[in-house]
């Protein structure tokens, strides 16, 4: 038999496949995810108004914030890079999460491009040929 109170408590910061979900700013501010974010970003989130729902990507580097505007009775979903502050606005949370996935893929591509060894060795300025194992002795 399960306990209703533990069920509700688990919903407060449940983990979906790629995101940890916080149902209020108060819950986010208490979280370890929030404490691990850069100070400048934490200060901005603390001052932000109209925040309704918070999804922190499991990498801790990206976040989707849902804003609710009562004047227009509308929602906006922000896809944000926590480290750079880069932000995109969407009308659906699905689109915002898709953008986060795209930003993660782009970051991995950039990272793998800088980690790749050069396919062609640098040319020797004297001979015009690349230096291989047996060359340049």
What digits encode the pLDDT tens for the residues 95-122? 999 999 999 999 888 888 877 665 555 5
Q: 14-24, pLDDT tens digit by residue? A: 544 789 999 99
The structure tokens 């915002």 sit at 96
Give this prediction's pTM: 0.70
Going 41 to 46 to 52 to 57, the CA torsion angle's sign is: positive
Q: What pLDDT is recorded for position 117?
A: 62
pLDDT at 81 over 50: yes
Structure tokens at 87: 């932000």
Cβ atoms 65, 79 nearer than 8 A: no
């Amino acid at each position: 038999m399960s306990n209703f109170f533990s069920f509700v408590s688990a919903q407060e910061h449940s983990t979906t496949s790629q995101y940890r979900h916080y149902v209020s700013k108060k819950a986010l501010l208490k979280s370890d995810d929030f404490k691990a974010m850069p100070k400048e970003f934490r200060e901005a989130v603390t001052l932000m108004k109209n925040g309704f729902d918070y999804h922190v990507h499991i990498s801790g580097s990206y976040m989707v914030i849902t804003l609710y505007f009562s004047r227009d009775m509308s929602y906006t979903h922000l896809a944000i890079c926590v480290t750079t502050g880069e932000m995109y606005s969407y009308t659906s949370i699905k689109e915002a999460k898709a953008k986060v996935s795209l930003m993660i893929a782009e970051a991995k591509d950039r990272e793998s491009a800088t980690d790749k060894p050069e396919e062609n060795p640098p040319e020797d300025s004297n001979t015009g040929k690349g230096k291989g194992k047996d060359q340049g002795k």
